[in-house]
Amino acid sequence: MKVIYLRFFLLFTSAFMTVCPIFCQLAAWNFENVSGPIPGFPILPSALGEGIASGGGSLSGAHNSGSPTTCGSPETWATNFWPVTAVRNTDSYMSFLITASEGYRANISGISFMLSRSSSNSPSDFYVSVYRWGIETFITSGVVPILGCNSFSGTCNVSGTSGSSLEVRIYLYRQNNAAMAATMRIDNVSLSGTTEVALPVSLGLFSGLCNEQNFPILIWETHSESKNHGFWVQEALSDLVFKDVFFVTGYGESQSKRQYNWQDFREKQGLIYYRLKQIDYDGVFAFSKIIPVSCERGEILITQQDNSSINIFLGNQTGQFEEWSLFHFGGNRIQSGNIDIDNRQIKITCPNIRTGIYILLLLGKKGNVVKKISWVE
């Protein structure tokens, strides 16, 4: 029988770098700045919000027919030869693109615009979405009445990264194939939202633990990175005076989840506080939230009697705990149950466990205890 002494505390928390919203309109197109009967691409915005470097309107899969003086204001953008199908063609759309300034990121919360059909032969249906990193997020859809200029709007919640672009696409379809020259006119396009001072990293899970040797271990992950030089691991005692202890190099540029870990090979006692100091290539830095890590020795004994069960001997802590949960080391719950307050032993049957690291959480009225289990088949 293998005997494993496991003593540590684990705290999970999410830590996010702070940002500051500074504007509510990202870009607008009223087409008053368009010169000539047929505008060239990209069609520049009439207005740009703070933190937006540029914007442009363009066309895919249809015909750019000019800017007639009808609809909501003296000039509009007119198009024709749209799909005749009853569903949108993903290659035929009007595009409105914005690019955030370096050091800022854009967050689109909604769009408003006006549409007008030149006749009943023009496209009757529209579909609006926003594109980010090749992923489409639906905003709104509807039917355009035959007469007059009609206002439409939709809301969403889509964010970019520092200096990146976001693209809103308006699809038009269900045109009468007997009169393909019938036009569709769009006017007063406005993208609303915020721009934020973008720190280089979006930090997700940040957790800490102390292993059986009383060595602290930190685990964290990022959802995106831009110009990320890396992280200084900082520690402090109860005075919360932090000092640098180790530097972990970042990925630099990333739009996918990245995972990091660090272990201190010095034995610790008591409560230690940790935080991350993230630094970009330009020397700009930001701090994560502070997490405590407890390196306290306990009395609980965990044994692996065979390859299908875990035995937990509570010793003199019998009656202190009411529930237990077993997790994969990544955080997914495997099993849970109640604890008999009069029983000094808990047996957890786990026939499907494979070699690896697992976390056992004991819950009680006086507090919680977390143990790491190194499972060996």
Q: What is the pLDDT along the chain (377 residues), one digit of tens a residue?
A: 333 333 333 333 333 333 334 448 999 999 988 776 788 899 999 999 988 999 999 999 999 988 777 776 678 899 999 999 999 999 999 999 999 987 787 889 999 999 999 999 999 999 999 988 678 999 999 999 998 899 999 999 888 776 789 999 999 999 999 999 999 999 999 999 988 776 667 777 888 888 777 789 999 988 878 888 999 999 988 778 899 999 999 998 887 888 999 999 988 877 788 999 989 888 888 888 888 887 765 456 566 656 677 777 665 555 667 788 887 766 677 888 887 766 666 777 776 667 777 777 877 765 677 777 766 65
Q: CA-to-CA distance for 31 and 35, rounded, in angstroms?
A: 9
Fold of 299-375: Immunoglobulin-like (2.60.40)
The neighbouring-strand residues paired with 209 are 217
Q: CA-to-CA distance for 186 and 82, rounded, in angstroms?
A: 14
pLDDT at 362: 79
pLDDT at 73: 66
pLDDT at 222: 85
Tell me whether the CATH fold assigned to 14-18+206-211+219-295 matches the one assigned to 299-375: yes
Give which of 55, 163, 63, 161 is closest to 111, Cα–Cα. 55
pLDDT at 350: 73
Determine which helix (DSSP H) or strand (DSSP E) holds 60, and give its type and residue range.
strand 52-60
Q: What is the CATH number of domain 25-196?
A: 2.60.120.260
pLDDT at 19: 38
**CB proximity list for 82: less than 8 A, separation 6 or greater:** 61, 62, 92, 122, 123, 172, 173, 175, 184
pLDDT at 17: 38
Q: How far is CA 91 from the centre of its chain?
A: 27
pLDDT at 334: 80
Q: What is the CATH number of domain 14-18+206-211+219-295?
A: 2.60.40
pLDDT at 22: 44
Q: CA-to-CA distance for 303 and 347, rounded, in angstroms?
A: 10
Three-class SS of residue 344?
A: coil
Domain boundaries of the chain, sorted by first residue: 14-18+206-211+219-295, 25-196, 299-375
Contact of 122 with 103, CB cutoff 8 Å: no
* CB atoms closer than 10 angstroms to residue 103: 19
Q: CA-to-CA distance for 164 and 341, rounded, in angstroms?
A: 56
* CB atoms closer than 10 angstroms to residue 83: 21
Determine which helix (DSSP H) or strand (DSSP E) holds 359, and give its type and residue range.
strand 356-364
Residue with tokens 């408003």: 112
**CB proximity list for 124: less than 8 A, separation 6 or greater:** 117, 143, 144, 174, 175
Contact of 334 with 326, CB cutoff 8 Å: yes
